[in-house]
Each structure stands twice: as C-alpha cells, then as structure tokens.
Amino acid sequence: MTKITMTGTAPKFDEQVLKQRQAARHHQYHGTSESHGVARGTIPFEFLANVIELANQGYELSNKYPITSTPMSYSAYMRKPDAIQTDDLEALNEEVKQQYIADLEREREDFKLKLIAQRLQAAELKEQKKIEDAHKKRMADIEKEVNDVFGDLVIPD
C-alpha cells in the first residue's frame, strides 16, 4: 500500500494571481479577432453600407486582417471602439475571476479529499498495528503458557 502524504496547504485566493490571469486574457483579447467586429455583405453595396454603419459607431478598419472580396462574400474586420473594448474587458475580468474561483474551489476540494484519504489511511494503519500488536502479545502469552505446560526438556545423564 502506498502511503498517502500531503504537503503544503490548500490554495487561497491571491489577488496577484487573479491580476496575472486577467492580464493574460487581455493580451489574448487584443491579439485575436475578438477585439474586432466584422462588416459583411453579399454584394459590394451592402458590404460598404455595413462598413460605413460600423465606422459611424466608432469602429476602425483593421489592417491586421485581410479584406475578403470574393463574389457574394465581402467582409472586413474592424477594430472595436475603445468604449466597447473596455466593456468587453470588464466582462472578461469577471469571467476570469469566476473561473479562478471555480479553479480554487476544485483544487480545495481535491486537497480536502486527499487529506481525508490520508487521515483515513493513517487511522487504518494505526488500527492494523494495534491488531498486530495484540496478536503478537496473544502469541507470546500462548507460547509462555505452552512452555509452562511442557516445561524444560529433561534429559537424564
């Protein structure tokens, strides 16, 4: 049987870890098309009208992604306005926080289950040792009793 050992303590909420996770998520947001909207259209007029509409809302045409102009499928990525990005990032901060809390709860539950297993194993080992010690004592008592019954072997000279 492998002895279960626990080291350390259950993880606790750390504001610094949360900030690191949020910063990583912000970096992902800014590095992907998630920080952009897409203007689409099946004909050039519809496409340009959608570009103009998004531009009026504060979107800017992005040079990070190509403009697609295949027949019946026109599209262009447009960078979201700062206000929308700020709202997105605030929502992502809350999402990251909730994920961090869920991770902590899961880790704490795992730690708790391992600690229960460790304590149970320790109790079982202690109980097993008691049984073995009692068995050894019984065997010693029985051997003494048997030796008393038989006594020493006497061999005449």
- Letter for the amino acid at 92? L
Instruction: Give the pLDDT confidence score for residue 152 in this predicted structure.
Output: 75
In this structure, is residue 2 part of a structural domain? no
In this structure, is residue 26 part of a structural domain? yes
Q: How many CB atoms lie within 10 A of CB 103?
A: 13
In this structure, is residue 4 part of a structural domain? no
Residue 157 in this model has a pLDDT that exceeds 80: no
Alpha-carbon distance of 26 to 18, in angstroms, equals 12
Residue 124 in this model has a pLDDT that exceeds 80: yes
The kind and range of the H/E element at 74 are strand 73-79
From the list 87, 81, 36, the residue with the least C-alpha distance to 57 is 81
Instruction: Give the pLDDT confidence score for residue 134 in this predicted structure.
Output: 93
In this structure, is residue 154 part of a structural domain? no
Q: How many CB atoms lie within 10 A of CB 144?
A: 10
Q: Total domain count for the chain?
A: 1
Alpha-carbon distance of 117 to 6, in angstroms, equals 10
| Residue 113 pLDDT class (50, 70, 90 cuts) | very high
In this structure, is residue 112 part of a structural domain? yes
Residue 129 in this model has a pLDDT that exceeds 90: yes
In this structure, is residue 108 part of a structural domain? yes
In this structure, is residue 5 part of a structural domain? no
Task: Dump pLDDT digits (tens) for 23-68.
Answer: 999 999 999 999 999 999 999 999 999 999 999 999 999 999 999 9
Q: What share of the chain is helix, strand, coil (3-state, %, to 5)?
A: 65, 10, 25
Residue 8 in this model has a pLDDT that exceeds 90: no
Q: Are 74 and 47 in contact (CB under 8 A)?
A: yes
Domain that residue 36 falls in: 15-149
In this structure, is residue 3 part of a structural domain? no
